Amino acid sequence: MEDKQFLADLREQKQSAYSRLLDDYQGKVFNTCLSFVPNKEDAEDIAQEVFVEVFNSIKKFKGDSKLSTWIYRISVNKSLEFIRKKSTKKRFGFMQSITGGEMPVDKSSYFTEFNHPGIQLENKEKSELLFSAINKLPEAQKVVFTLHKVDGMSYKEVSEVTEKSVSSIESLLFRAKKNLQKILTEYYKNVP
């Protein structure tokens, strides 16, 4: 996949290279986005943004890492950007509601897609609880946990995507597991 001609064709923005890029990475990018944003339509939109970014920025790609690593990095960043924007909108909606503005309209569950290949849970409720707990983790822990546990990447691959050392990845995963354990234990203590 990493052949020089393919990269040259991408940099020249040839349609055949872009088609090959989509064929090779569309599923992987969508699944990565879906891991962070478990809503099918939003994940599709983010994946589309990823490919637009790749196509527009390919000339900046220096080849210091694999093309796949660079694309994963863009996928993670676009997903996190989406989450940040969504959180900002929720806070704004909440502030409007307490200051007399309109109540936030979106009362339906955000988690609509649970057929992600990396998730082997029995039902929607457990999946929703797990994603909710993952989203409460600090950002670095959330990224590392999602890439390793949900997307199934090795420590080395996660290290390349996040540009952190393998020992940092191990440490972040350890802390993420501890924090998830606390979050889920608290939840189950409070369930009647």
Q: Which of 134, 163, 161 is nearest to 149 (CA)?
A: 134
pLDDT(112) > 80: no
- Region 126-135 average pLDDT: 78
Residues of the chain with pLDDT > 70, as a percent, come to 77
For the four alpha carbons of 126, 135, 85 and 102, in that order, the dihedral sign comes to positive
**Mean pLDDT along residues 133-151:** 88
Phi/psi of residue 191, nearest 5 degrees: -80, 125
Place of tokens 């997307």: 151
How does the average pLDDT of the chain come out, rounded? 79
Domain ranges of the chain: 1-113, 114-192
Class of domain 1-113: mainly alpha
Task: Report whether 146 contacts 135 (CB < 8 A).
Answer: no
Q: How many residues does the chain have?
A: 192
> What is the pLDDT averaged over residues 74-92?
77
CATH number of 114-192: 1.10.10.10
Backbone angles phi, psi at 100, to 5 degrees: 95, 0
pLDDT band at 189 (very low <50, low <70, confident <90, very high): confident
